[in-house]
Structure 1
Amino acid sequence: MSELLYKANPSVWRSHPFGALIAWMLVLLGVVIAVTDAIPFLPEPTQPVQLPEEFQIRWLGYGLLLIGCFQLLRWWLTTLMDQLEIYERELVWTHGLLSKEYTEINMTSVRTVRIEQSLFQRIVGAGNLQIFTAGDAPELTIRGLPRPQEIRQHIKRYSAGDD
């Protein structure tokens, strides 16, 4: 194999920016509720609220903490499963955690590289990448990769045959 030019995994923050923020907020709120046994920022009720004796606000905190951690862990495992490597002559996309799926694309067969960036992705330096070889459907679609312009430059440079 030729020299490695680029290697990256999508990141949770770049792939799911608002979802990751909400998940972290759920984790934080869950910890606060579980530790203090009270919901912050709620005004005290004017009349006493009758709750069953076995009900504890703490369990709401544990639930929020569990939901936030589970979502972040799920997204983190998905980013570990995917990896893009760009070499001088080929592009290798690896997908999978226990069982692996490899997609190798020869640089000379790349016809079009499409990069889509939302405003937030532009701010954090990420983008979604689509690579077309033949036909109208993309051969490869990857969300949330860091430095997408660098990827495009490497592919453009080596798909044209310039060394």
Structure 2
Amino acid sequence: MSTNDNVEDVLYEEHPAMFRNRPVYFVFCCLLIAAFGIGLVMLLIWYFQSIGTTLIITEERTTLRRGVFSKYTNEVTHDNVRNVQIAQTFLQRIMGVGNVGISSAGQSGVEIFVRGIPDPERVREIIHNGSRGEYEPD
């Protein structure tokens, strides 16, 4: 009988939003579909980029995974987080999405950067409070 005590609870797991992140581009692609059909290719590429990007936050670490066929993973433990940056355009604020950057003490720049993540303020709250063991999910 074996137990796995190393399993971490996932507190947040999201893909970048498509329409809410870039509504004007989304409408533009839809108009191109109606007019020429080329917008469908643009939407499909954008869809696979969005579905292939996942931001996962557990009690101990934040992980960014990218890729559908090949994989890229970057991970920062919450003990090492030095800075969480959130940037939102006016439309992103209205739509409830934003860009999130995470810096750690071990590196000089932003280690994890992802665009169009839903509820970026919640991401910051989970990282700051979760690293102190204070976060309680909704």
Structure 2 length normalisation: TM-score?
A: 0.86
Please identify, of 9-18 and 97-106, the stretch whose mean Cα deviation from structure 2 is larger.
9-18
Partner in structure 2 of residue 59 of structure 1? none
* Alignment-mate amino acid for residue 78 of structure 2: M
Structure 1 length normalisation: TM-score?
A: 0.73
* CA displacement, residues 49-91 of structure 1 (integer Å, 9 cap, x when unaligned): xxxxxxxxxxxxxxx11x1101111100100110011100111
Q: Choose which of 73, 78, 83 in structure 2 pairs with 1:102.
A: 73
Unaligned runs of 5+ in 1: 31-63
Alignment of structure 1 residues 18-97 onto 2, 5 Å: 18-28=24-34, 30=35, 64-65=36-37, 67-97=38-68
Identity %: 31
* CA displacement, residues 17-70 of structure 1 (integer Å, 9 cap, x when unaligned): 211110112223x2xxxxxxxxxxxxxxxxxxxxxxxxxxxxxxxxx11x1101
Could you say which structure has the higher strand fraction? Answer: 2
2 CA distance for matches of 1:23 and 1:98? 24
SS where residue 139 of structure 1 aligns? strand
Whichever of the two has the greater Rg, that structure is: 1
* 8 A contact 1:126–1:145 mirrored in 2: yes
Unaligned runs of 5+ in 2: 1-6
Partner in structure 1 of residue 122 of structure 2? 150
Q: How many residues align?
A: 128
Partner in structure 1 of residue 109 of structure 2? 137
Q: Which runs of 4+ in 1 moved over 3 A?
A: 160-163
SS where residue 15 of structure 1 aligns? coil
